[in-house]
Structure 1
Amino acid sequence: MDFINPFAIVVAAVSALVIGFIWYNPKVFGTAWMKAADMTDEKIKGGNMAKIFGLALLFAFLLASALPGIVVHQMGVFSLVGGDPANALPSYEAIMSDYGSAFRTFKHGAFHGVLSGIFIALPIIGTNALFERKSAKYIFINAGYWIVTLGVMGAIICGWN
């Protein structure tokens, strides 16, 4: 049984950029983020956009590649057999026969993605922001982006099998 749809990983990674285009648009949170991040139009225009978006896509791909272990429950069973079902005990086939498609929905993936955003992304962003002396607004704008993005990515990865 395949747990990961490679096309879903790519689409999930691209979704991070699409959500970012919307989230950080000046008509959504872009203006507030620029103020909270002490960002100016000059700073933005001075950046190498190809490098920034290329690396952002690479990082999103790395994140999407790690998410199946969080949003797809069957990955835990798969890991118990060392990633090789051919060497597994008969109980592996039995449990996968009974539960191989359990909780493989967009809704369930979104749920675990959102939890990942709240319990992983928020604490990381919040800790960095505290030491960088950034405001609560900065923390919540950026963490909100990742909570939504991880929810969408989790939905794509878990539901698209």
Structure 2
Amino acid sequence: MNDFALWPVLAGAAAFFAVGALWYGLLFSKPWQRAAGLSNTQLREGNMAVIFGLTLAFELLIALVLWHLLEKTDPKPLVVMMMAVGFAGGVMIPAIGINYLYLRKPLALFLIDAGHFLFGMAAMGGVFVWLRA
């Protein structure tokens, strides 16, 4: 891709990752843990380096795809935000919802996770608006 730009993709992914850290660390750690049905022991058993590493890798992929789309279409700043938030609301959140329906996950878990995707994508969109200015 000739429109690949490393720094915006890294910055967009970092913004999404930072929202996740705040979302699941400070704001909703206990409600998320209860809704997910995870004990403290289960949370300690996970390999956090792998979990965080793969999370960042997936967020880099999301940032790469959105950045590529922005570079191909050259939208105005408001449209960048509409695309970022619209991708969350129109693709990512419904996909989570479908999975959670079949997994019989509680509404509280869906709302917490959906909020993370919505605000994470808004943060990424904001970074992209700032870097494209």
Structure number with greater CO (CA < 8 Å, separation at least 6) is 2
Q: Please list, as runs of the form range in 1=range in 2, the aligned pairs for 1:42-53 lying within 5 A after superposition.
A: 42-53=41-52
What residue is the counterpart of 1:38 in the other structure? 37
Q: Which runs of 5+ in 2 are unaligned?
A: none
What residue is the counterpart of 2:65 in the other structure? 66
Compare the two structures and name the one with the higher helix fraction. Answer: 2
Contact persistence 1:118–1:147 (CA under 8 A): yes
* 1:110, distance to aligned residue in structure 2 (A): 2.5
* 1:157, distance to aligned residue in structure 2 (A): 2.3
Show CA shifts across 1:60-108 (max 9, x none): 11110011245x2x514xxxxxxxxxxxxxxxxxxxxxxx6x50x3x44
Contact persistence 2:4–2:64 (CA under 8 A): no
Q: Which runs of 5+ in 1 are unaligned?
A: 77-99
Q: What is the alpha-carbon root mean square deviation over aligned residues?
A: 1.9
- The residue type equivalent to 1:138 in the other structure is L
- Cα distance in 1 for residues equivalent to 2:79 and 2:44: 40
TM-score (norm 1): 0.73
What residue is the counterpart of 1:13 in the other structure? 13
Name the % identity.
26
Q: Which has the larger radius of gyration?
A: 1
Contact persistence 1:109–1:156 (CA under 8 A): no
- Cα distance in 2 for residues equivalent to 1:6 and 1:15: 14
Number of aligned residue pairs: give it: 131
Show CA shifts across 1:120-144 (max 9, x none): 1111010000111011111111011
TM-score (norm 2): 0.87
Structure 1: 4+ residue segments shifted above 4 A: none
